Amino acid sequence: MRIEIAIDNYDDLFSDFDARNYSDRYFSSDFLGELKIRTHRYRNERTLDIVFIIPKDERNAEQEALIIQRFRKFVKNRLKRNKNKHKDVIVKALAFESLGILLLVVANLISGQIPELFKDFLLIPSWFFVWNGLERYLINRQAIRAKLRYYSTLNESSYAFAEP
């Protein structure tokens, strides 16, 4: 699928508050938001052709190559960061689950030697950790998976500049 984004000049892709050159500047949140809106319709597509439409007199092949290279690096970094977040969510959820199950086992093992009140006291945090771990996994997983799909699609997509 081809997605066209019209820009007046290359500065439209970058933050107005960042005065550095294109090799170092941050991408504009307006641009990133617009790209997300435009690609949302094609979220089931594996690859997209993203074309930046720019007036002929504003074009510069060197800057275009640099911008495309920078954007690819940006997407790869975001993809890697979200993969790490996904792993982190799984590890933390498993840690909570394990701690909760461990507390349940301990409460059951020592239930004959301790008063009922202390056993109940151990059950409260054990259930907290079990359910909280499950909640962390289920809730965070959806959001991170959506970001992983989005950045994977952008990572596989092609980028080009063209004239109107």
- Could you read off the pLDDT of 79-91 as tens digits, one per residue? 999 999 999 999 9
Residue in 46, 48, 41, 10 with CA at minimum distance from that of residue 28: 10
pLDDT for 158: 95
Rg (CA), the chain: 24
User: Across residues 117-132, what is the average pLDDT?
Assistant: 83
Q: What is the tens place of the pLDDT at every residue in 24-72?
A: 889 999 999 999 999 988 877 888 999 999 999 999 999 999 999 999 9
Residue 111: other Cβ atoms inside 10 A: 14
The angle, 0 to 180 degrees and rounded to 10, between the axes of the packed helices 116-156 and 61-109 is 160
Q: Which residue has the tokens 């319709």?
A: 41
- For residue 135, the number of C-alpha atoms closer than 13 Å in the C-beta half-sphere is 6
